[in-house]
Amino acid sequence: MSIGILGGGAFGTALAIALDQTQDVTLWARDTTALSDRRESPRLPGARLPETVTVTAEFAEVTSSDTLLLAVPMQQLAGVLAQIDDPLEGKSIVACCKGIDLETGFGPAHIVALAKPLAVPAILTGPSFAADIARGLPTALTLACQDEERGKALQQSLSTPTLRLYRSTDITGAEIGGALKNVIAIACGVTIGAGLGDSARAALMTRGFAEMTRFAVANGARAETLSGLSGFGDLALTCTSDLSRNYRFGVALGRGDAFDSSTTVEGAATAQALQRVAQDQNIALPIASAVAQLVEGRLTVQDVIKDLLARPLKEEKPC
């Protein structure tokens, strides 16, 4: 089976390196200079792209593959799909980005289904840093596809000796887990940046997980999906590691420091999109709402801390 990957950033490059062990891989990028000449992505320094991976800037060369992996930033996903004239009928299209689209309020697999209704959408998500995948370190992810037989085929073709995939049919749950954990990671970063300590971070992770589960179940997902790799697993990784861009962004917010604007922080846009959707659905998400207001500059860190601590005391519930 041939694999086409759209997106020459850190995660797309890492997937190309990993999957080249078992599949024929073609990697699409807007700028192929570094990938073709130096065989290295500027977003993933030190990780060499094998010579056997074909690099291209032409959509037709990558969309001819049996399976497509979309590793472009969430807010660019719809635009990239709109540039592909091929309806991709019958092909498996696996979204590898995490977030909620600002314009539509949908997750990545649903954006794929809207743009290419004749294709079979899926999502690959879970606790994973591109550098770990590229180095061949053990990583486990969730592969969610509503078509169970297609999901089984994808699980087999996309697994490697060090990349272990667990299968699910709950696309919505996998999407929401991957999207919302980035928002909670920003909140946890703010906590540490503001000097509130590890105990406060643990509390935010726990209550943030409750928000994730509450929102997911309200939108038709299964609660157990959020307890797996695509929810709790990814939350644990991104809320505790300096390798997480969302966590580092939150730390900068908490300290009042500037943050590199060229670094993609999916949780910032997702928090804003999530606030609108949650308001429309009348779902209380106090932590996510606070992050959205921080990102938009409508509240200060001190305001957020005061507001969250002043919330009414109540019985603890898991969601």
CATH number at residue 89: 3.40.50.720
Residue 20: is its pLDDT beyond 90? yes
**What is the mean predicted confidence (pLDDT) over 271-275?**
95
How far apart, in whole angstroms, are the C-alpha atoms of residue 288 and residue 293?
9
| Choice among 91, 98, 116, 181 that is catalytic | 181
Among 11-25, 35-49, 154-168, the least confident range = 35-49
* Residue at which a domain ends, from 108, 140, 169: 169
pLDDT-based confidence at 311, cuts 50/70/90? confident
Predicted TM-score (pTM) of this structure: 0.95
pLDDT score for 136: 95
Over pLDDT 70: what percentage of the chain? 100
Tell me if 193 sits within 8 A of 252, measured CB to CB.
yes
**What is the mean predicted confidence (pLDDT) over 129-142?**
97
pLDDT-based confidence at 18, cuts 50/70/90? very high
**pLDDT tens digit string along 30-54?**
989 889 888 988 889 989 999 999 9
pLDDT-based confidence at 138, cuts 50/70/90? very high
* Residue at which a domain ends, from 169, 187, 208: 169
* Residue at which a domain ends, from 141, 169, 197: 169
116 catalytically annotated: no
Domain that includes residue 209, residue range: 179-309
pLDDT-based confidence at 306, cuts 50/70/90? confident
- Half-sphere exposure of 237 toward its Cβ, with a 13 Å CA cutoff? 21
Task: Count structural domains, the chain.
Answer: 2
pLDDT score for 47: 92
Q: Do 64 and 124 sit in the same domain of this protein?
A: yes
